[in-house]
Amino acid sequence: MTDAAITIRILIADDHPIVRDGLSAVLSTQPDFEVVGEATNGEELLTKAQALNPTIILTDLEMPIIDGVEAIKRLHDTLPAVRIIVLTAFNTDDKIVSSIRAGAQGYLLKGAPRAEIFNAIRTVAAGGSLLSPVVVSTLLEHVRDPQADAPDTLTEREMEVLRLIAQGLANKEIAAQLNVTERTVKAHASAIMGKLGAGNRTEAVRMAVQRGLIEL
């Protein structure tokens, strides 16, 4: 068997250049890995995936233009042979379940040992799946509690954000109240709109009121 036949072609997607550079350097130490490209946002990920035809896509979830979950859905539809591993800081239930449902075959948290990342890439490239222990625990909880998978089930933090959105607060103000970053608030707002099927924040508030989730 030739080296080309066993090379795992990897496309990295993350909006932080330091993360991309670090991953590329670490993965390049492995003789069977080839980093074929990098993407800085979800839209670029879709374009480069089509052009480069990687074996594995290693992607974050929170990215500009098109978020990771939506990008995974589109990739799963257009390039079903490409295998996808999520490597992210998000360990919330909705992110984990949404990613797996969208078509990801692996889910690791940033900070995972490099040996675990190498193993995940090789396992997923060979047709398997690999989830970190916290992800497995979350999925098991959703199996035990099917209601947790309901599309309109918001987490406690998402409800907090929704109530503040309903009060007319901007992301910066919400972030200050909850002592989180604006980036985190945006991620929660996006998840809220996705779960409620809303096109914007105003519509999300209206739908939440109609469903009795909040009161104005």
pLDDT band at 191 (very low <50, low <70, confident <90, very high): confident
Average pLDDT in the 54-65 region?
A: 92
Q: What is the pLDDT of residues 19-46, one digit of tens each?
A: 999 999 999 999 999 999 999 999 999 9
- Taking the C-alpha atoms of residue 149 and residue 145, their distance in angstroms, rounded to an integer, is 8
User: pLDDT at position 86, please?
Assistant: 92
Record the pTM. Answer: 0.63
